[in-house]
Structure 1
Amino acid sequence: MAFSEERLVTKLNGLDETQDSIVGASRWLLSQHKEIKQIAACWSKFVTKTTINTRRKLLAIYLANDVVQQAKHKRMAEVGAAFGDIMPGALSRVYPELSLEMRQKVRRVVDIWKQRQVFSDSVLKSVYSQLKDEPRPDSPAVAPEMQNLVVLFNQLTKSQAGVNSSKTRFDSSVEALDPSSAVYTENYKIIQKIGQAAKDALQISLDIRQKAIKELKVMLDFQNEQLQQDQNMISEVDAVLVAKDPLNSQPLSAEEAEMVPVYEASDGSDSDTDKSDVEGNDTRRRKSSTLSTEHKDDVKRLKSIAVEPKSDTGERADTFDAATYEPTPAEVAANSPMAVTSSIQDLLSKLAS
């Protein structure tokens, strides 16, 4: 079977920590040794992708380790040379991403290469120079809205190992199934079990993906609402700026000016009715003041008449100061409203006669 990059990627994604998985993929790669340079380049491309998780990258290094050791044992020098060309560059990018535990595992693998002289001294020296235990860059804090998604994607990553392994096993079993075999029925039953295991692993992955899609839809709806609010606020800011822009303040046209209502100058009163009421009140106060003054003058005249006693000879007595005069009780009674009225009548009678 001719080599294809898709086939290699499938093999790499289907790896797990078991010896059978690593050895099976290694045998397939060695069977394609005529394309070993292309295989090594595709392997380097896979492990340096940022979308590939570190666990899968470590498994790919395990696979490369088995391939180069088996190639040395079988005297396939071209395999070691091809991987020796790309290994320092690949590890320079992969090693800083690994956790401390994974770094220790990679270092043990490199130590084995040195002990068994899998690569040349120059290659090993270059490889060791990439194994620098510098602190890993701090991972950015995960927003609260993303935490559920992070958990789901971590579960999905772990489930993929079982999915790929079981699917690869199923494909290999189907390829090995021989319809002409005497034990075809028994082999088919075994393949059914392997297929069911693959379906179970795929169902787990399917459930996790559905949950992830649901979370993503919730996030999408929320972000659409926030987007609309932001757009509305931008429109409000633009409207205010346009309204306050002095360049937009233009005088009214003649037609617009005619439509503006014109009001007469006001005297400060609320209405015409109020003005009439005020004028009426002023007139009544003036009349009342006039009547009051006239009444007071009449009372003074009556008082002066009432308090001018005549002498026995018929002549008037001496005058007195009306301002300091204190009336007697009899005079007060005499000057009551009824007495004043009677005195006025008497006075009028005398004048008439």
Structure 2
Amino acid sequence: MSFSSDQFIGKLSSLEDTQESIASAAKWLMSQYRESAQVAECWKNYMLKSSTNTRRKLLGLYLANHVVQQAKSQQIGQFQDSFGSVMSSVIGGIYSELPGDLKKKVKRVCDIWRERHIFAPEVLTNIQKKLDDNATSLPETIPPIFKDLMKDYIKLDKNKRHIGVSKNRFDNAIQELNPTSAVYLENYNTVSKIGNMVTDSILTTIHLREDMIHKLQNIVEQQKKFLEEDRTILTEVEFSLLSKNPEKINQASADDDLLPTYEKEEDDDDDDDIDSSCDDSDSIGSNSKLKSLKRRSMDSMSPGLEEEESKKRRSDISDQDKNNEDATKTEETEGTITDNVGHQNTYQVEENAGITSNIQDLLSKLAN
């Protein structure tokens, strides 16, 4: 019978964590010893596939362990050679992603291989090297909140496997229901129980996922706060270093030397005040000097000149009074003009009065 990779993948995907399930799949594989290399390669691809969950990878390792040990007891060396050629790469690829409890189980299987010399010494050495490279003490240093998340994740993984198995049973049972059967009611009750089991598992998974999302959101918010604090500290350090940078300090000093200073001196205001007071004093002195010279010139006039000047002033005043009397008489005469003369005569009177006023002003200026 020729080997079918699809059939093999189907058997790997339907493995249960029971001795009977693993022994049944191993018996089928033993019949494919002529295609042991193809079997080992298909097994490797399945084990290293990212979509294969950790539980499936552990069960796949249990299946390979059962096959190679049966092959050794039956002296079928093909499986030891084929699985030995891919085993170290598979162990190195899956061991780091397994939770702590599964790592212990994988390590126990590898220890059995070494104790019973299942593989060649170089294969066992490579396997042990992969285990040592992935050995870590992280569980002791992981914060409590991440440990809680890890526990929830393990629960989710186990519950997910249980849901998958229960759902397959439910699908098969619901398809086999026959309404015309005499025991239809009993079969329906059985299917209902299976459906309730699936529903309970799904509700548990939903609750676990919601709780995990809430914890992750709290972690994200906390990390955002820490991120802002780190950025603030980084800015402070960079600013402090920049402010104390010798190149910046020397450049600032050089700029200060190049730029002129315009500092205000105290003596400047005093000089301005002195100059201003000097100007005011000069102006006041000049006016005083003019007045004094005028007074001296008036005092130095001769008595004859004073008398002649006095007569001239009295004559001018007399002429001015006479002119004022004539102007008054003229205004009174013009004011008696009757209204029937019309607007033209009124305008003429006003024009004559303006002329008379201008003449009077001119005579006053000449008299002065």
TM-score norm. by structure 2 comes to 0.47
Give the helix-richer structure, 1 or 2.
2
TM-score (norm 1): 0.49
Which one has the largest radius of gyration?
2
Larger relative contact order, structure 1 or 2 (CA cutoff 8 Å, min sep 6): 1
